[in-house]
């Protein structure tokens, strides 16, 4: 498919944008990456996603598809001849979607909450939620991977993409706070999985460098903490 038939509106630091890009890479599809300016929204984005006004947006021909996991499923369905992203069995698909929802609705908000937390007690409570979530995901990995390298088995799939896109931000959190979250002793499966995920051909070119991402994180954290501060 010609590159100009597929466009991704996004920004390189966004884990949600990374989901779309990894899915396109898995299917070996050429696409044009239209970088949005940090802190502003292009007219094309506002026209393409008038409801949420957020990245990513996949534009296929002249049709916009919004929301990262919806985009991943769309790519898998439209280009079904390529490697499968969603599991083939209904129960496995339901399980993968359940954990993807958990990551988006519970785990990642906890990670953001830790970044925004002010005060030792708030930070301790937030990090406990993150660690508890990783323990749950370790258990999910052991059950769904069936002894293979990835949540989906031998190759990267839906849940790998859903969780793996946050690894850059997890590394930044560890680096900036001097802590270890993916612990080889407490979450051995996830620790090995993370290394293999980041080294995969579909991932390595879109996974942000930790140092570069840390600079963005400083700006984001300042905004998060400012938003949570009491009015003067």
Give yes or no for a contact between 3 and 52, defined as CB atoms under 8 angstroms apart: no
What CATH number labels 3-78?
A: 3.40.30.10
Inter-axis angle of helices 120-145 and 90-102, nearest 10: 170
pLDDT digits (tens, 9 = 90+) for 68-122: 999 999 999 999 999 999 999 999 999 999 999 999 999 999 999 888 888 888 8
Helix (H, G, I), strand (E, B) or coil at 15: helix
Confidence class for position 2, pLDDT limits 50, 70, 90? low
Burial class of residue 61, CB neighbours in 10 A (0-12, 13-18, 19+): exposed
Assigned architecture for domain 90-222 = Up-down Bundle (1.20)
Domain parsing of the chain, residue ranges? 3-78, 90-222
Taking the C-alpha atoms of residue 46 and residue 117, their distance in angstroms, rounded to an integer, is: 31
């Amino acid at each position: 498919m010609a590159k100009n038939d597929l466009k991704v509106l996004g920004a390189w630091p966004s884990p949600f944008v990374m989901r779309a890009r990894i899915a396109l890479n898995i299917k070996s599809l050429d696409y044009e990456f239209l970088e949005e300016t940090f802190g502003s929204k292009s007219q094309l984005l506002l026209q393409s996603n008038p409801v949420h006004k957020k990245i990513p947006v996949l534009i296929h021909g002249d049709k916009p598809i919004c929301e990262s996991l919806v985009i991943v499923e769309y790519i898998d369905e439209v280009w079904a001849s390529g490697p499968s992203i969603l599991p083939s069995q209904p129960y496995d698909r339901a399980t993968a979607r359940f954990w993807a929802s958990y990551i988006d609705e519970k785990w990642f908000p906890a990670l953001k909450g830790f970044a925004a937390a002010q005060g030792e007690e708030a930070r301790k409570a937030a990090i406990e939620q993150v660690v508890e979530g990783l323990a749950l995901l370790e258990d999910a990995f052991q059950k769904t991977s069936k002894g293979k390298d990835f949540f989906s088995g031998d190759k990267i799939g839906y849940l790998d993409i859903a969780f793996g896109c946050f690894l850059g931000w997890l590394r930044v959190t560890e680096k900036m706070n001097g802590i270890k979250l993916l612990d080889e002793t407490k979450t051995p499966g996830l620790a090995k999985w993370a290394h293999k995920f980041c080294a995969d051909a579909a991932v390595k070119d879109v996974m942000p460098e930790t140092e570069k991402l840390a600079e963005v994180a400083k700006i984001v954290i300042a905004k998060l903490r400012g938003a949570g501060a009491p009015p003067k």
